[in-house]
Structure 1
Amino acid sequence: MFTKKQNRLPAAYYRGGTSRAVIFRQQDLPEDRNEWEPIFCGIIGSPDNNGRQLDGLGGGISSLSKICVVGRSSHPDADLDYTFAAIGVRNWDVDYSSNCGNMTSAIGPFAIDTGMIESKNDGEITVRIHNTNTGKIIHSTFPVADGEAAANGSFAIDGVAGTAAKIELAFINPAGSKTGKLLPTGHVTDVLDGVEATCIDAGNPCVFIKAADVEVNGTILPDEVDSHPTILSKLDSIRRKASVAMGLSKDEESASGSIPKIAIVSPPKSHKLLSGQVIEGNTIDLVVRALSVGQPHKAVPITVAMAIAAAANLAGSTVHASVSSSRVDPDGITLGHSSGNIMVGSKFDRQGTLTQATVFRTARRLMDGYVYWK
């Protein structure tokens, strides 16, 4: 039986860091935000019991199942508002509880490319972004060519083939993104499900545990995590208990799928990556394996990397106990993940408070026009 023609809206599709997302101008979406969720799910192709999202623009994994909305700034220190939504793959979940650091790298270029912000001259520009999910400000600095965000460049990030223009993201005062505190439980470590953990809120709320304390090799790769008989359920149990301890949910059952994020950490050592290449232990300060929406991440979420930079500065934390005593780069901490490494620059005041975290990413417009859903 025939029903009606498809719905459509203006949109663009961008890669940001090691993620991809459909990006909308807020003015093109319904004013009633309750109408956004079915639109987002229909466009991404969720829910999909097959876990592939073939009938949409998702890719079957959390890093490819994302929506961004960019609108006029509601903050005096920003040029734009940016709202992030994580879309469930097998369910109807549309989660606004956290930011995506990787996709943040595409927001400034999107604003330039769509004319939301005008660049009169070629060269470097800084766009001030207000992330509505966390209430935090991010300064995005990148080159502009012929009135558009430059795509070509010589900068490479692990997990993405080729090179592109460098984008600097400076997250201003990232501590307390959701809870208002760097240490939401009031302790540097807590014992959750019998495991020592550091619960920290910087960029996004996160919980970090040592790989040895859950009896897994810290260099475990994503497919090995998926096939492990107990580790995913154990990490989810710890994560849900951390959610309650951090005041993010009233009980474990109501814990968000997105936050807190969880990662296991271990001291640096040489090991194989997803590509089959070997990362040398003397080129990294810490080994990290992170989960995102219940799935092993093939790199590391930017906000997790920022939280690690903060935790590494806290004596007694699970991260501090695992990180190398002498840093590869004195300007930050270099993390080894499943696809390579990433350096997070950090600045602290005299009281040891994290005032800024800086990462470098690349982004690119893949397409724009209209996106359709049923």
Structure 2
Amino acid sequence: MTTTHRPQLRIPATYLRGGTSKGVFFRLQDLPEGARVPGPARDALLMRVIGSPDPYGKHTDGMGGATSSTSKCVIISPPSVPDHDVDYLYGQVAIDSAFVDWSGNCGNLSTAVGPFAIANGFIDPSRLPRDGVFPVRIWQANIGKTIVCHVPIRDGQVQETGDFELDGVTFPAAEIVLEFIDPSDDGEGEGGAMFPTGSLVDTLEVPGIGAFEVTMISAGIPTVFLDAEALGYRGDELQPAINEDRAALQKLETIRAHAAVRMGLIADVAEAAKRQHTPKLAFVSPPRDYLSSSGKAIAAGDIDLNVRALSMGKLHHAMMGTCAVAIATAAAVPGTVVNRAAGGGAREVVRFGHPSGTLRVGADVAQIDGQWQVRKAVMSRSARVLMEGHIRIPPPSPL
């Protein structure tokens, strides 16, 4: 019996940390021809890069880290819309299932798009300052939104080192300010608005589980917010309390699936299994003292509220950047579940506690013709190249 052995593919790539996430970045032009367009070939390649699907849940044979924060791929290409520098397409690769979710953005990895664009020739060098900050205008192709990534430049190069500390990231780095412009995901849902049901607070009926007061919002990423107390939580839980409780995870996923239907994102709860990335589910509580996952003491007086969010079926170790946009936006609108947990009233900035520490996010909201709109959300993150060179993978089929 003769066996044909095909050599591995060798694809230029960069492995970057952005915020509290990591991902494999590609230039579109460097992908094999069959993977330069959406479809099975692209998905198969990215799954093999990450090492999915992996029934062992370890990603030993790939670049993934077996968590939602580290099972990510990014494709960067020249801008498809005027007045932008690059297109940014994000794929959330499932860990133990054979699919890639393209339904939303990764706010954390948005931080790394600007530095990658500069380092990989998407920005004319003549436009860059020798020292200063350069605003990379990014077209987020998954959701059709603009992100401005303010990248520090030193001696004509992207500055990566610095003293900015980000809870959830071990080492300091250079601060990068992100602006999410008009971040309301207003193309989805029956209402086609920031609050897709038209209400700031709804009662969500979940058969076999109960009824919950929720705020469902599409800003940054579609998100459903609940009170922690309604779920039987204090709101200061760390990952083990949630992720080691299979019954709790199933309950939370069922709530998320029914919220997805109510938001108009899917037609039936059975479709939620193929849309794990959106919507997010988060629960909130008034501020209280707690110890973060690193043992750092978080004082109730230093935060406005506590938030815990799930990503891809597990409690996130810190906070997704897009969900942070949703938190800040909902906190700024009086009457939402998030705003109530933060003490009510109008606000432009919110500082919330998450499992790894705290995060400060600003949101500029206004009520226009009876509809709430968010003009911009702002937060600081950091990014760093971890490795660059070539990804080596066996050629998946079809390619």
Query: What CA distance in whole angstroms lies between the structure 2 residues aligned with 1:139 and 1:172?
Result: 8
Would you say the 8 A contact 1:134–1:177 is kept in 2? Answer: no
Query: What CA distance in whole angstroms lies between the structure 1 residues aligned with 2:27 and 2:155?
Result: 22
Would you say the 8 A contact 2:334–2:344 is kept in 1? Answer: no
> Which one-letter code corresponds to 1:359 in the other structure?
M
List per-residue Cα deviations over 1:127-182 (Å, max 9, x = no partner). 00000111010011021123331111121110112211111100001112542410
Would you say the 8 A contact 1:177–1:203 is kept in 2? Answer: no
List per-residue Cα deviations over 1:247-300 (Å, max 9, x = no partner). 111101112111000101000010011112210011111101000011110001
Would you say the 8 A contact 1:197–1:207 is kept in 2? Answer: yes
Pairing partner for 2:170 from 154, 161, 166: 161
2:380 corresponds to: 360
- The 5 A counterparts of 1:193-208 are 193=206, 194-208=211-225
- In angstroms, what is the RMSD of aligned CA positions? 1.6
Pairing partner for 1:147 from 131, 149, 156: 156
Give yes or no for the alignment of 1:78 onto 2:84.
Answer: yes
**Which is further off, 183-192 or 242-251?**
183-192
The TM-score with structure 1 as length reference comes to 0.96
Query: What CA distance in whole angstroms lies between the structure 2 residues aligned with 1:110 and 1:24?
Result: 9
List per-residue Cα deviations over 1:69-111 (Å, max 9, x = no partner). 1101111232110000000111111010010000000000001
Give yes or no for the alignment of 1:233 onto 2:250.
Answer: yes
> Which one-letter code corresponds to 1:322 in the other structure?
A
Query: What CA distance in whole angstroms lies between the structure 2 residues aligned with 1:16 and 1:260?
Result: 21
Would you say the 8 A contact 2:235–2:285 is kept in 1? Answer: yes
Pairing partner for 2:37 from 32, 38, 42: 32
Give yes or no for the alignment of 1:184 onto 2:196.
Answer: yes
Query: What CA distance in whole angstroms lies between the structure 2 residues aligned with 1:2 and 1:276?
Result: 53
Query: What CA distance in whole angstroms lies between the structure 2 residues aligned with 1:160 and 1:229?
Result: 27
Cα deviation for residue 325 of structure 1 reads 4.8
> Which one-letter code corresponds to 2:136 in the other structure?
V
**Which is further off, 101-110 or 240-249?**
240-249
Cα deviation for residue 316 of structure 1 reads 2.5
Give yes or no for the alignment of 1:249 onto 2:266.
Answer: yes
Pairing partner for 1:135 from 140, 144, 166: 144
Query: What CA distance in whole angstroms lies between the structure 2 residues aligned with 1:229 and 1:37?
Result: 29
List per-residue Cα deviations over 1:220-251 (Å, max 9, x = no partner). 11111012353211211111111111111110
2:397 corresponds to: none
- The 5 A counterparts of 1:204-353 are 204-228=221-245, 230-255=247-272, 256-325=275-344, 332-349=349-366, 351=368, 353=373
Cα deviation for residue 349 of structure 1 reads 3.6
Give yes or no for the alignment of 1:119 onto 2:125.
Answer: yes
Give yes or no for the alignment of 1:4 onto 2:6.
Answer: yes
What SS does the aligned partner of 1:344 have? strand
Query: Alpha carbons of 1:350 and 1:262: their partners in 2 closer, same or farther (altered >3 Å)?
Result: closer
Q: How many residues are treated as equivalent by the alignment?
A: 372
> Which one-letter code corresponds to 2:137 in the other structure?
R
Query: What CA distance in whole angstroms lies between the structure 2 residues aligned with 1:3 and 1:246?
Result: 48
Query: What CA distance in whole angstroms lies between the structure 1 residues aligned with 2:196 and 2:348?
Result: 27
What SS does the aligned partner of 2:43 have? helix
> Which one-letter code corresponds to 1:183 in the other structure?
F
What SS does the aligned partner of 2:338 have? coil
Query: What CA distance in whole angstroms lies between the structure 2 residues aligned with 1:229 and 1:293?
Result: 14
The TM-score with structure 2 as length reference comes to 0.90
Query: What CA distance in whole angstroms lies between the structure 2 residues aligned with 1:183 and 1:149?
Result: 38
What SS does the aligned partner of 1:311 have? helix
List per-residue Cα deviations over 1:280-331 (Å, max 9, x = no partner). 011111101000011110001111111111111223221111113589xx75
> Which one-letter code corresponds to 2:200 in the other structure?
V
1:46 corresponds to: 52
Pairing partner for 1:170 from 172, 179, 190: 179
What SS does the aligned partner of 1:303 have? helix
Query: What CA distance in whole angstroms lies between the structure 2 residues aligned with 1:339 and 1:319?
Result: 19
Query: What CA distance in whole angstroms lies between the structure 1 residues aligned with 2:357 and 2:98?
Result: 32
List per-residue Cα deviations over 1:333-369 (Å, max 9, x = no partner). 0010000011001112464531100010000111111
Would you say the 8 A contact 2:339–2:345 is kept in 1? Answer: no
Query: What CA distance in whole angstroms lies between the structure 2 residues aligned with 1:233 and 1:292?
Result: 13
What SS does the aligned partner of 2:117 have? helix
> Which one-letter code corresponds to 1:190 in the other structure?
D
Task: Show structure 2 runs of 5+ residues with no match.
Answer: 395-399
Query: Alpha carbons of 1:291 and 1:322: their partners in 2 closer, same or farther (altered >3 Å)?
Result: same
What SS does the aligned partner of 1:290 have? strand
Q: Where has structure 1 moved over 4 Å in runs of 4 or more?
A: none
> Which one-letter code corresponds to 1:21 in the other structure?
G
Query: What CA distance in whole angstroms lies between the structure 1 residues aligned with 2:345 and 2:334?
Result: 15
What SS does the aligned partner of 1:239 have? helix
Cα deviation for residue 124 of structure 1 reads 1.0
